[in-house]
């Protein structure tokens, strides 16, 4: 029996999104695959934010979840939470680089879901690889063994 999505860990949710992305990619559903990649990136940001708060504070998980909801989207989570949390830490340079990648991912995701844009294979492939870079780099700051599978094509 599968664990209900709502009670899975952030890392398990990321893997679930990537599995779904792989299926969409194999069916050449480029826009759907890219949205799943962007969702995985946002889940990776959630994971990193939770880890940062866990290390640096005694805030309750419920309060941290309320911050995640308020930050709204990958761009907001990076700009409003993760970058400020990383200031003065060894990870700040990595977070700044990842923020640039996150902004590209978020802008393209928003084109699909808010403007009805249909991605072609090349666009989707570039953004899926951006999402892979973002997710693996970010999560490995906290879990060095983390890895995603490759979309097939």
| Residue 147, domain member (yes or no) | no
| Residue 42, domain member (yes or no) | yes
| Residue 66, domain member (yes or no) | yes
Report pTM: 0.92
Q: Report the CATH number at residue 53.
A: 1.20.120
| Residue 90, domain member (yes or no) | yes
**DSSP secondary structure string for all residues of 104-139:** HHHHHHHHHHHH-PPP-HHHHHHHHHHHHHHHHHHH
Confidence at residue 152, expressed as pLDDT on a 0 to 100 scale: 43
pLDDT in tens, 80-119: 999 999 999 999 999 999 999 999 999 999 999 999 999 9
| Residue 149, domain member (yes or no) | no
| Residue 148, domain member (yes or no) | no
Q: What is the dihedral of CA 127, 128, 132, 133, to 10 degrees?
A: -20
| Residue 106, domain member (yes or no) | yes
Please say whether the beta carbons of 108 and 34 come within 8 A. yes
- The shares of helix, strand and coil residues in the chain, as percent rounded to the nearest 5, are 75, 0, 25
Q: What is the span of the domain harbouring residue 46? A: 10-140
Please say whether the beta carbons of 3 and 12 come within 8 A. yes
| Residue 63, domain member (yes or no) | yes
pLDDT in tens, 4-60: 877 879 999 999 999 999 999 899 999 999 999 999 999 999 999 999 999 888 999
Number of domains within the chain: 1
Residues 6 or more apart whose CB falls under 8 angstroms from that of 11 comprise 47, 139, 143, 146
Distance of alpha carbon 15 from alpha carbon 45, whole angstroms? 14
């Amino acid at each position: 029996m599968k664990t209900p999505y709502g009670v899975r860990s952030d890392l398990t949710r990321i893997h679930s999104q990537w599995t779904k992305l792989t299926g969409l990619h194999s069916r050449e559903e480029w826009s759907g695959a890219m949205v799943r990649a962007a969702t995985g990136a946002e889940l990776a940001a959630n994971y990193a934010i939770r880890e940062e708060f866990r290390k640096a504070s005694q805030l309750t998980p419920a309060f941290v979840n309320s911050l995640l909801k308020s930050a709204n989207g990958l761009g907001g989570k990076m700009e409003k939470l993760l970058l400020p949390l990383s200031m003065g830490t060894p990870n700040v340079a990595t977070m700044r680089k990842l923020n640039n990648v996150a902004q590209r991912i978020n802008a393209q995701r928003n084109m699909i879901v808010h403007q009805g844009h249909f991605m072609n294979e090349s666009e989707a492939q570039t953004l899926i690889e951006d999402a892979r870079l973002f997710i693996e780099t970010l999560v490995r700051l906290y879990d060095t063994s983390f890895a995603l599978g490759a979309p097939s094509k």
